[in-house]
Structure 1
Amino acid sequence: MKQHVASTGWIGLRDDGQSSQEKLIGFEEPGWTPSHTLPDFFGTERRFSGFKYVEYLGPKTRPVLDAAGRAFTVFAGHADDPNWMCDVHDPAMAAIAEAGEKAKVSEARSHHRRGNFPPLSAGDSYGGGQIHPGALINGVINTAILCSLMSNLAFIRLAGFATGIFANWAPNLFQYYSSHMRKFYKKYRHLRRPFLNSIWSACTFNLRLHTCCLGHRDFANLAFGWCAVTALGDYDYRKGGHLILWDCKLILEFPPGCTILIPSAAIFHSNIPIGPNEHRYSFTQYTAGGLFRWIEHGFQSEEAYFESLSPEERARERAEAKARWSAGVGLFSTLDKLRAM
């Protein structure tokens, strides 16, 4: 993985909405919805070269390895349960579809750097001008909708499943999350994670019928952390809805009901659009890099933290910041280490 992180090492770098491949050939997505289709990557008239197509081989979990043999992305699939679609996916899809009809999200908020779809987010965050960490704010109607979604057994199961995959495939990184979140919620007892069985501090429900993302990095998330993305809907996953990992030149089939864990702050990613008569929603879980920074800095802002340091301590902190990305990526596990556990 290439290093696309801020100088502090806590969050990613803000992208300009274009991948390096798009810049190279001058072919970007022009509007608010993704337009790159499979023929743009494969076939005689392809515009992008060197991409690998990863087929869906069933719900079992499969890792994607980096050059050092570490699992940096995991196709989690779904639980080994023959009733998963009818017991979990279908109720979750019905609930998010109903939420999309009732939610009050302005057009301005529905048009954003990830695409053209209304998001509802819940949980705790820090960054983007916040003075201190706090719960994401929603209006009365949207708060009620979010409470309904977060108390829905289907989403509780989806949240727990993704957390279990995280713990199994990146145990060291999971422990890093766990120890920091334990300190955070011990300090701020009035705050609550969206799901008690989830490791992440925030989540987003993307509500439009044709939720497919434009290329982006979720730069505010922990730079070397994992985000869980769950696809819901009714679409032909062989033709659309794929997850494109641009920096890795991978295109993964992404069926409804399945979850993928990626370092979303570091990797530029997007979706292949679905058909006009199909529908797709998504559910994501993540934690802001600013929360980890706040905790590491003694529950204070970076400015206050640096003011409290001696010149020697500031120099040491800057050196640690330069090494933070490498140390964070070092928390990923190789298959040999996982087998030895």
Structure 2
Amino acid sequence: MPGSPDMRVYEWQGEPTPVTTNRGVVGDEEVAKPAAKDIRATAVDIYTEPRWLRKRRARNGESVPRRGPHAAKTIGISMGGGQTHPQNTAHSARLHQLLTNLLALQSIQRIAGWTNSKSVGPYPSHYANPPPVLFMAFAKQLHSFYEKELRSVCEHDPRTTRNFPARLSVFSMVTINFGPATVTFRTLTTATSPGGDLGGHLVLWDLKLIIRFPPGSTILIPSAILRHSNTKIQANETRFSFTQFTPAGLFRWVYNKFRTDADVNKSETTTPAEHEQRKKDRARRWDEGVKMYTRWQGPVSTV
């Protein structure tokens, strides 16, 4: 109640202002710490896989995983790299079970939900539904497009399985970097970092920008146009990361009425007029995609 000794009035000035813990931490440590613990437990099992042990013992000159010198596992509905149709990533039975068990944990589902669709409670009783967050809140039209396209894929082929319920995530794939000292190379996504502190700054190369990225932080990145990586962390620190994304090939599959570009282009039923229309569509697809972003109308701080 107003005037109560355990309450204080904050005179908000109208600018976006984070509410932090008493240690200045933005975010929910009750999510970040359990998530780091759960990822670490799965990492122990992954790093004891014979195939990974062989990679760790690889001689100089052999290739290093493109996301960095650590285990990075991807799971979900993929499309690209020569695939003739969308399908779930293939793993050994053991690894598939490890990854699906991890994605089923509340700590991971809360991150997935907070990142893009609806956060996972518990909430006060007056909340009829979880509130919209991040992706939905800041790019509602683009969020709806992602959800519609993924729903179309799953309805067209019931064999495809989403990583999370539709109410939590509109992304088709997840990559988890299992560290324990995750340092990613420049790559062309949403990313959450549930571990680490003094290092691990996020680097956006095209913007020439370095952002401090403390534990529990989440960022939405248009990864098709922004190369990103993170810096080294301290010797005694650990860092894991959790990334969600949807491959462009999946969107093209739906646009092609559930066919690949190659199938459409070589089909005898595709008319010259349709080929010409496809060229025009490709030319304007970029502009249409940009229009789905929400233009920020609030205060802007130049960094």
TM-score by length of 2: 0.77
Q: Distance in 1 between matches of 2:33 and 2:150?
A: 31
Give the conservation status (yes or no) of the 8 Å contact 2:196–2:233.
Answer: no
Aligned to 1:235: 197
Give the conservation status (yes or no) of the 8 Å contact 1:59–1:258.
Answer: no
Question: Structure 2 counterpart of 1:206, which letter?
Answer: N
Question: Structure 2 counterpart of 1:179, which letter?
Answer: K
**Relative to structure 1, is the Cα distance of residues 173 and 203 closer, same or farther in structure 2, using a 3 angstrom cutoff?**
same
Q: Secondary structure at the match of 2:239?
A: strand
Give the conservation status (yes or no) of the 8 Å contact 2:192–2:216.
Answer: yes
Match of 1:112 among 62, 65, 90: 65
C-alpha deviation, 1:262, in angstroms? 0.1
Q: Distance in 1 between matches of 2:64 and 2:98?
A: 21
Question: Structure 2 counterpart of 1:229, which letter?
Answer: A
**Relative to structure 1, is the Cα distance of residues 108 and 299 closer, same or farther in structure 2, using a 3 angstrom cutoff?**
farther
Match of 2:170 among 194, 199, 208: 199
Aligned to 1:278: 237
Q: Distance in 1 between matches of 2:289 and 2:185?
A: 27
Q: Secondary structure at the match of 2:220?
A: strand
Aligned to 2:206: 247
C-alpha deviation, 1:120, in angstroms? 1.6
Question: Structure 1 counterpart of 2:184, which letter?
Answer: C
**Relative to structure 1, is the Cα distance of residues 108 and 116 closer, same or farther in structure 2, using a 3 angstrom cutoff?**
same
Asked if residue 291 in structure 1 is aligned to residue 250 in structure 2, the reply is yes
Give the conservation status (yes or no) of the 8 Å contact 2:67–2:184.
Answer: yes
Aligned to 1:19: none
Q: Distance in 2 between matches of 1:131 and 1:210?
A: 36
User: How many pairs were matched up?
Assistant: 248
C-alpha deviation, 1:175, in angstroms? 1.3
Runs of 4+ in 1 over 2 A off after TM superposition: 57-60, 104-111
Give the conservation status (yes or no) of the 8 Å contact 1:125–1:133.
Answer: yes
Asked if residue 156 in structure 1 is aligned to residue 109 in structure 2, the reply is yes
Q: 1:46-61 to 2 correspondence within 5 Å?
A: 58=18
Q: Secondary structure at the match of 2:297?
A: helix
Question: Structure 2 counterpart of 1:195, which letter?
Answer: F
**Relative to structure 1, is the Cα distance of residues 137 and 293 closer, same or farther in structure 2, using a 3 angstrom cutoff?**
same
Q: Distance in 2 between matches of 1:188 and 1:165?
A: 29
Match of 1:208 among 179, 187, 191: 179
Q: Secondary structure at the match of 2:169?
A: coil
Asked if residue 189 in structure 1 is aligned to residue 158 in structure 2, the reply is yes
Aligned to 1:257: 216
Match of 2:40 among 97, 109, 113: 97
Aligned to 1:13: none
* Superimposed CA distance per residue, residues 125-172 of structure 1 (whole angstroms, 9 cap, x where no aligned partner): 110111211000111221111121111100000000001310100111
Match of 2:134 among 165, 168, 192: 165
Asked if residue 179 in structure 1 is aligned to residue 148 in structure 2, the reply is yes
C-alpha deviation, 1:58, in angstroms? 4.7
Gaps of 5+ in 1: 1-56, 61-76, 218-226
Q: Distance in 1 between matches of 2:19 and 2:249?
A: 34
Q: Distance in 2 between matches of 1:187 and 1:78?
A: 41
Question: Structure 2 counterpart of 1:291, which letter?
Answer: L
- Aligned-pair identity in percent equals 33
Match of 2:260 among 284, 290, 301: 301
Q: Which structure has more strand as a fraction of its residues?
A: 1
CA root-mean-square deviation: 2.0
Question: Structure 2 counterpart of 1:249, which letter?
Answer: K
Gaps of 5+ in 2: 1-16, 57-62, 117-132, 299-303
Structure with max Cα Rg = 2
C-alpha deviation, 1:257, in angstroms? 0.7
Question: Structure 2 counterpart of 1:232, which letter?
Answer: P
C-alpha deviation, 1:254, in angstroms? 0.6
C-alpha deviation, 1:235, in angstroms? 2.4
Give the conservation status (yes or no) of the 8 Å contact 2:86–2:160.
Answer: no
Q: Distance in 2 between matches of 1:78 and 1:171?
A: 24
Aligned to 2:301: none
Give the conservation status (yes or no) of the 8 Å contact 1:120–1:142.
Answer: no
